[in-house]
Amino acid sequence: MQKRHALKAIALGTAAFAGSTLLTACFDKKEQTLQFRGVDVTGADYARDLPLTDHNGQARSIKDFAGKVVVVFFGFTQCPDVCPTAMAELAEVKKALGQDGDKLQGLFVTVDPERDTPEVLKAYMANFDPSFLALRGTPEQLAAVAKDFKIYYKKVEGKTPTSYSMDHSAGSYVYDTAGRLRIYNRYGSGAQALTEDVRALLNTAA
């Protein structure tokens, strides 16, 4: 059942991107010739910011991470497979970057703020990399961010009121060091593909 929900969410997330209208932005020739392993969404007019609070209680924005490549993933801590796999791969990417690993910022946005308290989120991030941050907001804030990012999420009732699960989109959003959305990384693409794209963005900024 969980696998079926995950596949459904992935398909919905991919379809949202396929149907999105991309705007042309002004980039230099070096950036225009970049070939990404993920979906190039340079110039997109969505996923503009993340006005949420991190697990340390600090209000956050994409601009806070200027100089770093930022990878954003939406999920929830009780996710049995998709979320831990995506975050483990992101930790693998950071290690593969070597000394440049400090220039990668992982952000996990919970779609389950009801159960994912700051304490729970902090402990969850520690399982992957202590530098990764988890973001949360009120149900209203989450709905606004999800709309801007064109992501899908929905509660799936369980046997008890607290045993529910969450269907959600499963891709990652990759921002360059100037805070511009550049890549949509589909779930299942693997750590190597994401590593190559992150390294390409870092090399462009160098």
CATH number of the domain to which 114 belongs: 3.40.30.10
Number of domains into which the chain is organized: 1
Residue 174 to residue 197: CA distance in whole angstroms: 9
What single-letter amino acid sits at 150? K
- pLDDT of the residue at 202: 96
Query: Is-contact 173 47, C-beta < 8 A?
Result: yes
- pLDDT of the residue at 25: 44
Question: pLDDT digit string (tens) for 29-52?
Answer: 455 567 999 999 999 999 999 999
Residue 83 among known ligand-binding residues: yes
- pLDDT of the residue at 67: 97
Q: What is the DSSP letter of 129?
A: -
- pLDDT of the residue at 95: 97
Compute the C-alpha angle 102/108/112, nearest 5°: 165
- pLDDT of the residue at 31: 54
- pLDDT of the residue at 13: 54
- pLDDT of the residue at 206: 64
Question: How much is the pTM?
Answer: 0.84
Contacts for 134 with CB less than 8 Å, ≥ 6 apart: 54, 55, 107, 108, 109, 110, 116, 121, 122, 124, 125
Which residues of the chain have a pLDDT value below 70?
1-33, 206
Range of the domain at 54: 2-205
- pLDDT of the residue at 158: 86
